[in-house]
Structure 1
Amino acid sequence: MSEYEIHAIKYAAMDRNRSDNFLSHDPHDGPMPMDFFVWLVRGEAGIFVIDTGFDAPTAARRNRKVWRPVAEGLKAAGVDPATVRDVVITHMHYDHCGNHDLFPQAKYHLQTREMAYATGPCMCHHALNHTFEVADVQTMVKRVFEGRVCFHDGAREIAPGLSVHWVGGHSSGLQVVRVRTRRGWVVLASDASHYYDNFERAAPFPVVVDVTEMLNGYDTMQALASSPAHIVPGHDPLVLRRYPASGFGDGIVRLDADPIAQP
């Protein structure tokens, strides 16, 4: 039975307040910063990179701070991006789909409805398209014509013990990743839950296409994970405090290890 190690690799950060991170007003406003991660999944079945982050020019345009470039974080963890064969794109927002030239040999795993959403009539509306970078979408279309995109519709096992599951909500084709590890089934939530507070309190993040899908996504993750403590949110700085260091330097923690502090 295949098991994997999982590493969360921080690559960027930004300042935010609690009122920015919940659809309903939070009366206890105060600092609630956001970290940006990519995830490395490694086991007998191979190496899988989950999401590709953004680069320095995108960070400058969007007033974000690159903490360490994605390529450097992966190399610190012992992975040469040029050799990676499989990349899972949880969704095509700017912070999950950039660094276009980083994985020249990879095929990209993407939900069919995410590509339809990112290239369809919904993108006529700024309220929906501002979370996408045109160049990211164009690059993904180019990869389709190169035969480098593997489309999934719903749930699909892409390797023994590693599967993707559509949840929607935050973006029309958002998918989460379920990974079998030594401590059980871990779910990488990506933006299905930006913070622990989002899924633990059923308090949706304000960037949302379908609120019902987002709320149902919390239930889906609970069903897929071995326990709520096996769900890893996509942007919460607490991840770096709740999991042990991987031994690859600052900002990289081991998600297949037991948390060092419970919620």
Structure 2
Amino acid sequence: MSGWQVHAVRYAERTARIRADSFIFADNHDAPHAMDYSVWVLRRGAEVILVDTGYDEAEAVARGRPILMDPREALRPLGLRPEDVTKVIVTHLHYDHAGGLYLFPEATLHLQAAEMQYATGPCMCHDVLRGPFTAGHVCEAVRRLYAGRVVFHDGDAEIAEGVTVHLVGGHSRGLQCVRVLTEAGHLVLASDASHFYENVFERKPFPIVVDVQDMLDGFGRLEALATRPELIVPGHDPLVRTYFPKDIAPHIRRLDRGPLRDPRSGRRAC
């Protein structure tokens, strides 16, 4: 079978951030450090898999974090309607990754069992750990479960030929990354296993973390899963828009052919 096409679809951004928001041991901690928010579309022929769902306007207002466009609108240039999406890999249940679950009512969710246990268990008694979750999003995952449309995974699992998920943890207890076979090799959608290139390549932990060791070990796991380090795609780094080619709309980047430049050096990729 041929490799998968992979599209990064940006729907929001946060520019009012500093480096201390991105790294536990931040140098120059007051310097600006922007963040992008994306979902990812995997396509191979008629097969479509959505990785994460983003969040909607109501969540944007509630958290004071505006979105550039509704995730459904963001997918429109790819010719995708919400009802076309029947399979969603949920990397974890934080608001910016699972806030749009209800937008795709036909989808079966692929989720680590550890994430559901975490998001509905005793750890949520702590305000700090509960902060990135929204109760309504978790309840939507539970409703989907009772409708028979959640597939739980316990560690590594195959979602489709050439698409696998891998439990990483760290940022959230059941965080999973996604490995995709493309024409460039095995591409790894890190999601929040590495928010930025700097996290993974310089081993700098992100401040929202439930287990620092898991996060640090996860950086090595990302490198082991990718054919080459430059095929690791962080979940929130605006540099993805610099390193990967434009796609059919300004907010979409094509990932499966590899980056134009090596993110470790900034040099043109071979």
Superimposed CA distance per residue, residues 42-89 of structure 1 (whole angstroms, 9 cap, x where no aligned partner): 014710000001001101111112112110111111111212110000
Deviates more, 1:95-104 or 1:145-154: 95-104
Aligned to 1:254: 254
Give, in whole Å, the separation in 2 of the partners of 1:241 and 1:65: 23
Q: What SS is found at the alignment partner of 1:113? A: helix
Q: How does 1:83-232 map to 2 (within 5 A)?
A: 83-232=84-233
Residues 45, 160 of structure 1: 8 Å contact kept: no
Report the counterpart of residue 12 of structure 1 in structure 2. Answer: 12
- Give the aligned residue type for 2:5: E
Q: SS at the partner of 2:224?
A: helix
Separation of aligned partners in 2, 1:160 and 1:83: 20
Residue 170 of structure 1: how far off its partner (Å): 0.1
Query: Match for 1:46: what amino acid?
Result: E
Amino acid at match of 2:153: H
| Secondary structure of 1:154 counterpart | coil
Match of 2:267 in 1: none
Distance 1:172 1:60, change over 3 A: same
Q: Is the 8 A contact 1:91 1:114 kept in 2?
A: yes
Structure 2: which amino acid aligns with 1:183?
A
Separation in structure 1 between the aligned mates of residue 238 and residue 83 of structure 2, nearest angstrom: 28
Runs of 4+ in 1 over 6 A off after TM superposition: none
Counterpart residue number, 1:50: 51
CA contact (8 A) 2:51 2:91 kept: yes
* Cα offsets for 1:199-223 (capped at 9, x unmatched): 0100010000000000110111101
RMSD: 1.1
Alignment size in residue pairs: 262
| 1:163 partner letter | T
**Residue matched to 1:37:** 38
SS of corresponding position for 2:102: coil
Instruction: Please give the secondary structure, in 1, of the residue aligned with 2:115.
Output: helix
TM-superposed deviation, 1:28: 5.7
| 1:229 to partner: Cα distance | 0.1
Distance 1:194 1:179 in 2: 18
TM (normalized to structure 2)?
A: 0.95
The answer for unaligned runs of 5 or more in structure 2 is 264-270
